[in-house]
Each structure stands twice: as structure tokens, then as C-alpha cells.
Chains A and B, each alone.
Chain A
Amino acid sequence: MSEQYEVEFIERGDREATFLVRGVTPAFANGVRRAMLADVPTLSIDEVRVVENSSVMFDEQIGLRLGLVPLTTPRDEFSEGETVTLALDVEGPGTAYSGDLVSSDDLVSPAEENVPIIDLKEGQRLEIEADAVMDTGKEHAKHQGGVAVGYRHLQRIEVVGDNEAFEQDDPRIVRGVIEAEGELVPAESFGNDLTNRYEGKEVEVHDVPNAFVFDVETDGSMSVDDLVLAAVDSIGDRADELAAAVQL
């Protein structure tokens, strides 16, 4: 495998990005995807001490809901197994939101403030103290920083001839990003149907070898940049670990 990969962004946001990587094997591309899902640790509430819960939900249900709230996880600040304490105290009537969680660490806060935890009626109260622990998606899906992470081959479109006039074109659906006339074009821009872009033309679609278009989204616990870099680092760390382990 080549030492240098070429990375080109098609869309780049804080929580959502699409980028093209050239020069990687399918196995490595899948390795990066899996690392993003299972190997990048994030903070998530894992233990809840209930002081008072007079809401209509059981403690366990509240615990599950709190665990699923993404917490911002700054890169390289926490190591696996470290904990951060959060507290929540809301009295009805009203709704307890994820934003009501008070963190003991300024770096850690709920990534979404507006997630309803539980609706409280008159006289009901939820008071808890919770420990967020740094762990990986392998342990529990709530620690998974990447959401709907996937990749597909980059496809090259070549015009090979003309279609006969007035011939009924069947739709030719493509997804993701195509390479046409040397440019990268998101398939959405022509309704995912090649017959819209190449009317009356006969086209051939080929997978470009070792070029993959990644779609990455995060749950808000970290930025896409951090997630991808941490995933690639974790692969490097494991390769080093393996190299050290097989040396006798």
C-alpha cells in the first residue's frame, strides 16, 4: 500500500462530511470505518445515583435515556476508563432536558441541550448524580462517536456513444459521488439519475480502483475531523502493538 493517501473533501462540516480517499485498499477503508464506530472512545453516562425519582419512569429507563445523550469529548484530554461527574435536579411541573445536566468539568457538556429526558408533573422531581465514563463503541453503542459511517467506491462515468433518438431511457441510478470529465460531482446534483446528466448518450460506469468516498456523521461528541483522525490513530496504535507483540 502506498505511504501517501490523497484526501479530498467534497463536503466538510463540523458534524457531517463527505470526502474522497485515494490510494487505500478496500480492507484499509473498512478498517477506518470500523475504527470510527468501535474504537474511538467517547464520554457517556454509565452510572446513575438516584437521589429522588418520582417521575412516571423507572430509574433504569431514566438511566438509559441519560446514557444516550452525547457528551462533548475533547480530543486527548481523557483516557479510557476516566470518569466525569454530572448532576441533574429538576422539579415539576416541567420537562427535564439534557441541557439541565450540570457537569463538573467545563470541557464536558451535553452536545444537545434540547433532548427531553422526562416530563415532570406537579410535585414530581428528578434528582440524580451521574458518572460519565470514557469507553468505546465496542463496549456499548452509546459510546459510538460516528453515526451512519460508510463508504462506497468512487465511480467513473465514461460516455461511449449516442443512444438512438427517442429511445426510452431507463433510469440509471448512481449514489454518492461520481467522477466525470475529471471532476467530482455529487450524484444528488442530477437527481442520482445518469440519464438526466447524459441525455441521449450511452454511458459506462466503472469503479475507480482504491478510491473510496466516505460519508461520516458524528453524534456531536466530537467533530468529524477529530473522529477520523482518532480512528486512524487507533489503527496505527494497534499496528504498533502487534509489531511489539510479535517480536521475540
Chain B
Amino acid sequence: MMVPVRCFTCGNVVGEHWEEFKARTREDDENPKAVLDELGVERACCRRMLVSHKDLVDIVAPYQ
């Protein structure tokens, strides 16, 4: 629903990068690989946390 705070595998905090990652890849159409490299999200386990995330708050909010 909300981006996970930490990487499930290694415990690195990844949540802080989500909004920048989302803005740059989904709106500005930048290459996700380059964005993750720049953000310093190095390991594959942490990268998949951001790459595979989908915000769902907007979808469930009307049914609250």
C-alpha cells in the first residue's frame, strides 16, 4: 500500500528514496537504472523494493 520502509532482505532503509524515484521514473521518464544508481540504492534486493512497488492508498481510500 505504502512503500516499505526497509528492504525485506537486507534491512537497508529504502522508503526515503521512493518519492524521488517515482517522480523521476514515472513522470520524467528517466531510466530507472540510472536513477537507482544516483540514489545510491546499490544491491539488487533493495532495487527491487522500489522497482516493483505500487502505491495503493489512492485506490483504497474511497472505500474507507
Contacts and interface: CB of A to CB of B under 8 A. Distances in A.
Given A115-B5, A119-B55, A217-B12, A56 B61 contact: yes
A141 B16 CA distance: 19
Interface in B7-50: 10-13, 15-19, 43
Given A57-B2, A119-B55, A147 B12 contact: yes
A104 interface: no
B16 to A, nearest CB: 4
Given A56-B57, A56-B64, A115 B15 contact: yes
Interface in A105-124: 111-119, 121
B40 to A, nearest CB: 9
15 contacts: A56-B1, A56-B57, A65-B2, A112-B13, A112-B16, A114-B16, A115-B15, A116-B3, A116-B19, A118-B57, A119-B55, A119-B57, A144-B11, A148-B43, A220-B13
B61 to A, nearest CB: 5
A141 B10 CA distance: 10
Contacts of B5: 65, 68-69, 115
Interface of A: 56-57, 61, 65, 68-70, 98, 111-119, 121, 141, 144, 147-148, 217, 219-220
A220 B11 CA distance: 12
A219 B12 contact: yes
Given A57-B1, A119-B2, A119-B55, A219 B13 contact: yes
B54 interface: no
Given A56-B60, A65-B2, A116-B2, A147 B19 contact: no
Interface of B: 1-3, 5-6, 10-13, 15-19, 43, 55, 57-58, 60-61, 64
B8 to A, nearest CB: 10
A65 B14 CA distance: 12
Contacts of A119: 2, 55, 57-58
A90 to B, nearest CB: 14
Nearest to A141: B11
B11 A116 contact: no
B1 A121 contact: no
Contacts of A70: 13
A164 to B, nearest CB: 37
Contacts of A111: 13
Per CB-CB distance, the 9 closest pairs between chain A and chain B, nearest first, are: A68-B5, A115-B15, A114-B16, A119-B57, A112-B16, A148-B10, A147-B12, A115-B16, A147-B11
A150 to B, nearest CB: 10
Given A114-B15, A116-B2, A119-B55, 4 more contacts: A69-B5, A112-B15, A114-B17, A147-B11
